[in-house]
Structure 1
């Protein structure tokens, strides 16, 4: 374990500030998506005008005839939209600059594919339905602590996404808005992702990188089995032992940086939960010995982060 240099720390802090401002701007931009316009009245009253609110999908809602109140609504909306566009453009330029600086100073060491996948989940507003669990969570902890963990603790070629079955209806609604299967969401990042026929909770790309989607063990009214969409080729989510512990745990979030300088927010479980869960895994005699040793290594590393760096 090694602390990052002051120069890298300064750049990371500045990059986070720009990224978080971008997140806020994106949230504000959703409030002015679509548009407004004045619609001419019927032939019997051609001088009349009606305010219409449009959505990005083309749906329209009439807000009523032109009145001082509706005129004020229209002007406020258009001003907010102009401000949003201007702010987003400025922050995009700032993020591009930070991406170049991140790369030049070697701020990040996460595989770019991982950052791109997390960014895609955020862009499609699907990220609230998932938590990153397993080895990749270490990148969030080390970023927040300002250190570099030993490479042995981070070695992996897959990412585990814990899907929240409690929000399955909201998830299905949002996925329908995206107009894609879950596999389709991944394929927008890397078109070579395919569902493994022998392990249908896993998608693998041409380079062997895997995305596993897991869920808590069935409780109450959880349906089983669960497929993430009606698409013929999509994830069948696998039950994972004691995943309810990870689902119910406090949330931990940090901005991670890829080796190419790009950034994304990773949401995972609180470090204390990670440590306890890894120690439990390491004690399971039916688990492979190599994995149990790595579980202990990772638990020890995160415990040290908690003792020395994390609040």
Structure 2
């Protein structure tokens, strides 16, 4: 494989030597080099720094990815074009984003606490004795439980429940009002870049108690990684019109459907325009053309797992995809994301290291569309650079669910 040698002088002039062409060229750097600090002393010493890349088609210096354009004219084969993999979020926006995320976290905590006390406690008589009975609906399942005969202890339980329930409702109402205001601020300041259908769907999945069973994969997962690192990826690798949801079907779901239409009804609570597509039982589409695909692992010849989250004729199905076990067994990654219309949601996805490695595998599948393979490769490169630059605490040695041959291949990227 050919190599590149980059000799950088303190004046910013870079000399490129490319084999096998054995030609030299000079061009003015448009970005800083890592570990380079300009100054008079450096100009006097005329120090050189050498950078090497294993590929003759691309290399990365700092946060800039340089691409070589190959041409039939040997003099044009050395032109390097800068391609930014990601850009940092401006400092003036970071504070507002952090405030918005903290408010959303407080709101979700209040929402869950209010749900704990949404049940009703009342006295019921049986055989001449009064009993304190708790009645509540937990994700669509009606639950009744006797807390014991009337006594000082059960009366104290009723008093505490009544006071706590009122306090939780009051707190939730206050945070809901603040959250509605924050959504307008998010939109006005353009704090988010996630497509609105994504946050609408994810918010309803979380409300239904499915956040631990359904996670986001595919291109949209990169919004979570970018938000965690306070950067934005280039639009060229982020454009998508579908949301891929991976359902963990390995264990039985113990939550009853909160909607008569199943998962379809849950999603329609966020966007009523979502509907099934004729001939595509695995896909939903809304009136803007945005799609939601439900995916599950291929359990092989056993065929012991259900094809729907809840058995329902009106609901849509999950399509089996090869090697989803790699992602299901990888660590989870959670991040609050903000959409372009200001809405927020908690995105549960796969660890960015596993995501990047899986994209490497996808990019090498000969049966996959060539354009998608190139995009898979670009996304893998972007994720690896992001981890190296902004998430260095994540070690690839901890990702054992992806085969070693793919992890070895990824080291060359």
**Is the structural similarity TM-score above 0.5?**
yes
Q: How big is the shift at 1:296?
A: 0.9
Greater strand share, structure number: 2
TM-score w.r.t. length of structure 1:
0.91
Question: 1:125, 1:174 within 8 Å by CA — same for their partners in 2?
Answer: no
Contact 2:194 2:337 in 1 (8 A): yes
**Structure 1: runs of 5+ lacking an equivalent:** none
CA distance in 1, matches of 2:349, 2:142: 36
Deviation at 1:219, TM superposition (A): 4.6
Q: 2:361 aligns with which of 280, 297, 305?
A: 280
Contact 2:261/2:314 (<8 A) preserved: no
Higher relative CO (Cα under 8 Å, sequence separation at least 6) belongs to 1
Superposition pairs of residues 1-311 of structure 1, within 5 angstroms: 1-39=86-124, 41=125, 49-56=130-137, 60-170=144-254, 173-175=255-257, 177-219=258-300, 222-223=303-304, 226-310=307-391, 311=393
Q: Which structure has more helix as a fraction of its residues?
A: 1
Q: 1: distance between equivalents of 2:130 and 2:304?
A: 51
- Unaligned 5+ segments in structure 2 are 1-85, 394-413
* Residues 276 and 58 of structure 1, relative CA distance in 2, 3 Å threshold: closer
Q: CA deviation at 1:224?
A: 5.7
C-alpha change, 1:85 and 1:210, in structure 2 (3 Å) is: same
SS across alignment from 2:192: coil
Is the CA contact (8 Å cut-off) linking 1:129 and 1:167 kept in structure 2?
no
In the TM superposition, residue 221 of structure 1 has moved relative to its aligned partner by 5.2
Task: State the aligned residue count.
Answer: 304
Task: Tell me how far apart the structure 1 counterparts of residues 228 and 253 of structure 2 sit (CA, whole Å).
Answer: 33
User: What SS does the aligned partner of 1:90 have?
Assistant: helix
Q: Deviations over 1:181-238 (max 9, x none)?
A: 2222222233332323333211122322111111111158552661333322322211
Structure 1 stretch 274-283 or stretch 58-67: which is displaced more? 58-67
